[in-house]
């Protein structure tokens, strides 16, 4: 079984057609087969909710469609980690790769678990993939 840290930007693509939705859905199929264990920091839910709310505001998603997606997002992770516990490492990583602390929490978890963070956040991917932490990040489009 494979382990990964999942960025909220990828989880949303499971439910809403967007660029890179098909590789994101490959991850979803791996999870449903039991071939993938997903870990997230606890702020994953707030980020996913924010993405969904923006889609409602832009009328790309109806309020009626929110409830089943929210239920599915809540069921996504196999393990949730406290942002408080990850914060010291996240601050160091955010400073080193010049990224936000929010994204640093995902990266700190991937480093702590010695696995990859799967992301659809192009800026995060660009910064981390050219850093010493490149082995801890995977672009969602590179999922097989």
Domains within the chain, CATH numbers bracketed:
2-142 (3.40.50.1010)
pTM of the model: 0.92
Mean pLDDT of all residues belonging to the chain: 93
Structure confidence at residue 132 as a pLDDT band (50, 70, 90)? very high
Q: What is the per-residue pLDDT across 24-58, written as a single tens digit (0 to 9) for each?
A: 999 999 999 999 999 999 999 999 999 999 999 99
What pLDDT, on a 0 to 100 scale, did the predictor assign at position 1? 58
Q: What is the per-residue pLDDT across 82-112, written as a single tens digit (0 to 9) for each?
A: 999 999 999 999 899 888 999 999 999 999 9
Across the range 4-12, mean pLDDT stands at: 96
**Bridging pattern class, strands 137-139 and 79-81:** unpaired
What pLDDT, on a 0 to 100 scale, did the predictor assign at position 99? 86
> Helices then strands (H, E): number in the chain?
7, 5
Two tokens, residue 76: 């996504």
Two tokens, residue 84: 């408080």
- Residue 110: how many CB atoms within 10 A of its CB? 28
Alpha-carbon distance 7 to 39, whole Å? 9
Across the range 61-71, mean pLDDT stands at: 91
């Amino acid at each position: 079984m494979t382990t990964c840290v999942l960025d909220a930007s990828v989880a949303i693509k499971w439910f809403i057609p967007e660029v890179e939705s098909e590789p994101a859905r490959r991850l979803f199929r791996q999870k449903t087969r039991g071939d993938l264990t997903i870990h997230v920091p606890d702020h994953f839910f707030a980020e996913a909710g924010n993405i969904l709310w923006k889609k409602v505001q832009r009328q790309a998603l109806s309020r009626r469609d929110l409830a089943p997606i929210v239920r599915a997002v809540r069921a996504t992770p196999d393990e949730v980690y406290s942002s408080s516990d990850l914060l010291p490492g996240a601050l160091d990583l955010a400073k080193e790769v010049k990224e936000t602390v929010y994204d640093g929490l995902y990266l700190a978890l991937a480093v702590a678990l010695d696995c990859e963070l799967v992301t659809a956040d192009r800026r995060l991917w660009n910064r981390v993939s050219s850093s010493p932490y490149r082995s801890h990040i995977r672009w969602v489009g590179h999922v097989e």
